Structure 1
Amino acid sequence: MASLSYELNGRNNLVVTASDIGLIIGKGASGLKRVISGAWTMYERLQSSEKRIDEEKPKLRIVLKDHEDGIQAEIFSESETMQKLAQKSLDRSVEFVLKKRESTVSLKTEFFLVDLPERLMGKLIGRGGAGLKRLQNDIIFRNKRVMINPDDVETAKTARIRVDSLDVEPDEDGKSGNIIEKGEQKNTSFLGWPPEKDDDFEHHVKLTLSFKRGVAPLKERDLYIQRFSEVVVNRINQIKQEDDDQMDEINECLGFDEE
């Protein structure tokens, strides 16, 4: 049986990797079944029109094979017309599932861990959440200049930042092993330098980052996360420094620093 063979990666300017094959085929081959169904719908529509092709009803089979550089598609059919229509149907399906994946990846809820004494959490949150609103704005703008992809501003404005105490105790040696385990959980990472197992335990907080349901996916997620990390870490360092300065003033006032 004649076939049409081609690479999915690079077609229609889409980046397709070997790891995408399961996404395209779908659970129980549901993705490929939709592709074949779509091809038959177009073929039957053509054959019921004035431009029908004078040929016997063809067969159709589609095989996808992953390899180091991407995925190869091979469309088997004795009808050249059916091959072209199946290719069109597969193109649509690939574009759809990749866009869906991009949306899921870029807007998933993420968790970030950073060391901050529990008593200073209120400074970060602010009265009525004003501190978190300030973070949200500072991530997007600096001196009225947009610091992320301009196309991501509207999505970024829907960001929801929540701060919670990380419910973790020191490990049996008083070190940071339990915190490191928390950082290894799904969709979780550290802001700034992560602790080492031999580091003394320091209290950490967890920041939860999510976006309003249904908004457009971020076009430059990495840039947004980089900016998020920079703004949050700078603000936390500022809070810590202000706390240290206040303690220095108290010590000086009470003469604790005098020899």
Structure 2
Amino acid sequence: MSLLKIEQLHVFDCGANKPIIHNSSFQVNEGECVALVGESGSGKSMTCKSIMRLHKRGIKQSGHIWLKGEDLSELPEKQMRSKRGKELCMVMQNGMSAFNPSNSVGRHLVATLNQHTNWSYEQIERKLVDTMRRVRLQDPMDIMNKYPHQLSGGMLQRLMIALALLLEPDVLIADEPTTALDTISQFDVIEQLMNLRKNTGSSMIFISHDLGIVKKLADQVIVMKDGYIVERGASQDVFFKPQHAYTEYLISTKRTLYEHFQKTIGGDVHA
């Protein structure tokens, strides 16, 4: 059953006087992970910001975005704000933009959980500490007392992931959630995202340049180029039987980089 449906999404940059997204349509079913792949500038992140209605001034969007049968495009900003968090949650590529620089990160996290749960302060604190440790954030209490500029991009990204794990949203949008993380932390975060889907049935939109992670996580793959959807289909079909030349290019480029890396370290490219 369709949980999230995007119809004829068009995004326009008024400052540059050019379209960014060209009438995109797709849907995310209950419990499904849909991956958006493509090179930088293909429109992946702009698509997700459109779903959340988080565009900066000068970026206009049209079309319809249905969440559980409700057209988010028609909602006033106050109502849309209430949807962000528990129903739609986004882990942004740039962690700094997700936090108020004038508040400690702990204050931000507590306020968000207060808005979307009926937990006591003690429960919120206990759950935050436990979940932060699950995503490899050491000294949780010390971290919560810090301001965003005092933390690295990777730490801020893990904080957003911890918050998403606690909120258990209907739809989690993860925009390059592992780019600022080391390899061990990447593994932990992917494992936590997989557990979130397994335990709560949350649907997911996943953006990543790492096609290996996409292949592991995604049920459906949407390939974007220059603001257009050029291919879509089940993950296995897209990776093993690509229909569009651009999809073949992405997959072959990933394979070439992998083989070069294996030769450099003296490994077996066929391993």
TM-score grouping bracket, smaller chain normalisation: under 0.3
In terms of fraction of residues, the more helix-rich structure is 1
In terms of fraction of residues, the more strand-rich structure is 2
Q: What TM-score do you get using the length of structure 1 for normalisation?
A: 0.21
Task: Choose 1 or 2 for highest CA Rg.
Answer: 1
